[in-house]
Amino acid sequence: MSTVATGSDATGPLELVLVRHAESLGNVADREALAAKAHRLDLADSDEQVGLSPEGERQAAALGDHVAGLADHRRPTVVVSSPYRRARDTAASALAAVGVEVLLDERVRERELGIFDGMTWYGIQAEHPGESERRARLGKFYYRPPGGESWADVVLRVRSLLVELQARYAGERVWVFSHEAVILAFRYVLEGLDAASVLALQKSEPIANCSMTRYRDQDGALRLVARDDVSGIQGAAEVTREPAHTGEGTGGAG
């Protein structure tokens, strides 16, 4: 029978909780652009500086109330966040009552889309047909947009961070505030998925804003115990997520 390790004998984190940032202005702009079949999002800020929407602020506050109500043995002891504003602001609001330092780590930043940043799939197909063809030939997992990153590149970042978490935070409850593609990359690594499986998850199970994907140590390995858990905000804020993905993501939305 599997048993959960105790703090004294754990060789890595006791728990890993992956939190997607609250709804951002980029998420709102993305939905509006897709509905209008526009080529670009109506956003002035860089992807790094995109902030939370009013609903996102309510979601982050609701998650903060949830965390404040957790028993001490369930609260995070180590917190890592993407340096992007929407993730940092979510972490700050969610942890206001806990007092845990937030460690910023660029390895959990949003996937960089290069020349496609801020574009919808309609825009990419219309303005970069050659790249659309190259992506179809290489496959979405390994395709790297000019100046950007492939899904495989994000996986390499996640592998690097997991090695560090394993070595430095034995027995800790680690929470990571990040983005959809990064959370899926964690699932790829931790659950031993293949490229087709993780891309299918992006289409079939879009990750809600402020949701928690939770792993716990069982026999020395982190095992999935909850995915896309919105219990922290449900009833206090609207649950928002993107529709099924049909192409490349867009800047400010992940």
The pLDDT tens digits of the residues spanning 136-165 come to 999 999 999 999 999 999 999 999 999 999
Q: What is the mean pLDDT of residues 170-192?
A: 97
Give the pLDDT confidence score for residue 250 in this predicted structure: 56
Asked if residue 27 lies in contact with residue 229, where contact means CB atoms within 8 angstroms, the answer is no
Angle between helices 54-68 and 85-94 (to 10 degrees): 40
The pLDDT tens digits of the residues spanning 99-120 come to 899 999 999 999 999 999 999 9
Rounded Cα distance, 201 and 99, in Å: 34
pTM of the model: 0.92
Other C-beta atoms lying within 10 Å of the C-beta of residue 114: 14
Give the pLDDT confidence score for residue 8 in this predicted structure: 47
Q: List domains and CATH numbers for the chain.
A: 15-229 (3.40.50.1240)
Give the pLDDT confidence score for residue 101 in this predicted structure: 94
Give the pLDDT confidence score for residue 252 in this predicted structure: 55
Give the pLDDT confidence score for residue 19 in this predicted structure: 98
Asked if residue 225 lies in contact with residue 215, where contact means CB atoms within 8 angstroms, the answer is yes
Q: What is the mean pLDDT of residues 86-94?
A: 97
The pLDDT tens digits of the residues spanning 9-58 come to 668 999 999 999 999 999 999 999 999 999 999 999 999 999 999 999 99
Kindly state the tokens that stand for 38: 């526009």
Rounded Cα distance, 149 and 186, in Å: 16
Q: What is the mean pLDDT of residues 61-79?
A: 96
Please determine, for residue 3, whether its predicted confidence score (pLDDT) is greater than 50.
Answer: no
Give the pLDDT confidence score for residue 10 in this predicted structure: 67
Q: What's the CA dihedral at 108, 80, 96, 187 to 10 degrees?
A: 60
Residue among 79, 81, 83, 26 nearest 55 (CA): 26
